[in-house]
Amino acid sequence: MYVPPVVPSRPHNVRLNDETGVCYNEARCRSARTAGGTRGGVGVAKRTKSGLKRKRQAVKRTARNQAVRSELKTLVKNAREAGAASPDGLRAALRALDSAARKGVIHRNAAARRKSRLVKRISRAGVPA
């Protein structure tokens, strides 16, 4: 399973997310002041030390969860395509769904629903009509 690299600590004027152009640090950073371009807290970057730490954690967690979700989709797709011919593929997909639910990447009811639909689809495909 792919684990994304840890984002290193950066000085305040270096952007963490170059696509959006938002600096997640001090109020003195120009991109933090102009992010969103609106008032009322929308687009305002984090300013406190704890807020900065939460933002760093969120960036890491988002990357890690995205990798888990991507792997999950791949395993479910492979199990669906293989059908009843490959019980190992189905087992791997079910195990990955359980693991993602346990880690909190997806909700446990969502995992149960996906498992139910996958097993039902594969068992339906395995029975000749």
Q: Which residues are 22's β-sheet partners? A: 17
Is 95 among the domain residues? yes
Query: How crowded is residue 108: how many other Cβ atoms within 10 Å of its Cβ?
Result: 13
CATH code of 120's domain: 1.20.58.110
Is 56 among the domain residues? yes
Is 116 among the domain residues? yes
Question: pLDDT tens, 34-82?
Answer: 555 444 555 667 689 999 999 999 999 999 999 999 999 999 999 999 8
Is 63 among the domain residues? yes
Quickly state the pLDDT bin for 129 (edges 50, 70, 90). very low
Place of tokens 């120009």: 30
Is 37 among the domain residues? yes
Is 6 among the domain residues? no
pTM of the complete model? 0.59
- Is pLDDT at 17 greater than 70 in this prediction? no
Which tokens in the block code for residue 60? Answer: 């890491």
Is 87 among the domain residues? yes
Sequence-distant (≥ 6) Cβ neighbours of residue 9 within 8 angstroms: 56
Which tokens in the block code for residue 53? Answer: 């730490």
- Is pLDDT at 118 greater than 70 in this prediction? yes
What is the number of domains present in the chain?
A: 1
Closest CA to 23 of 5, 4, 47, 7: 47
For 94, the domain range is: 30-126
Is 15 among the domain residues? no
Question: pLDDT tens, 69-87?
Answer: 999 999 999 999 988 788 8
Which 3 state secondary structure label does DSSP give 40? Answer: coil
